[in-house]
Structure 1
């Protein structure tokens, strides 16, 4: 199990249901990305840290979606994996040609999924 997955697992046991933890993590990633976008002065350490956190989070989601032990229907798992692949592609594009407008889809995806997990969609 990766370090990020272990940390996620420890946090999930301490603070709430899996859905609540996932929503909190998505909102944390969205906030970091939004902070980068709002305070844009070009690529910097904060941008790289925010993208890394978001990528690690989505790596966990993709891995869970691909797991044969995942109880979700295959259609939902495929949708999560497809969104995750888009997130990864968008992240690479942001790293190759930094532009704060490229953060909007990542922020929107994280916020919308967090709202859905929290039952607010």
Structure 2
């Protein structure tokens, strides 16, 4: 395998990974929209928030890895966002907040940035 073919495989792998991340974020966004509109009854409402929490926990763990190819500054910024999302999802789940609009908005912004 030549160096240029290796680079192409790496780039394709990154694009595939971003595609999977977009799909996961889309699923979380759809769940948050259903939650916001009152379409989810217990325990589905809790499961929706737990999905978003687990997704962002995975993202934070990946961003914390030295093997992550993003710049240190961008990784730190995304980790901060991720920690906020996790805490806010917990606040909504614990009924300390009822507004999911900000959670929804942040997830949409991050998803759109992966395009």
Taking structure 1 as the reference length, what is the TM-score of the superposition?
Answer: 0.76
CA RMSD of aligned residues (A): 1.9
Q: After TM superposition, give the deviation of residue 98 of structure 1 in Å.
A: 5.4
Does residue 66 of structure 2 align to residue 68 of structure 1?
yes
Matched length: 102
- Structure index of larger Rg: 2
Runs of 4+ residues over 2 Å off in structure 1: none
Return the offset for 1:40. Answer: 5.7
Q: Distance in 1 between matches of 2:64 and 2:72?
A: 9
Per-residue deviation, residues 48-87 of structure 1 (Å, max 9, x unmatched): 1101111111011000110111111101110110001101
In structure 1, the residue matched to 2:112 is 115
Contact 2:52-2:86 at 8 Å conserved across structures: no
Q: Please, which runs of 5 or more residues in structure 1 have no aligned partner?
A: 1-12
The answer as to 2:52 corresponding to 1:54 is: yes
Match of 2:92 in 1: 94
Task: Provide the TM-score with structure 2 as the length reference.
Answer: 0.80
Q: What's the counterpart of residue 16 of structure 2?
A: 17
Alignment partner, residue 6 of structure 2: none
8 A Cα contact 1:58 1:87, kept in partner: yes
2:49, 2:90 within 8 Å by CA — same for their partners in 1? no
Deviation at 1:99, TM superposition (A): 4.5
* TM alignment of 1:29-48, pairs within 5 A: 29-39=28-38, 44-48=42-46
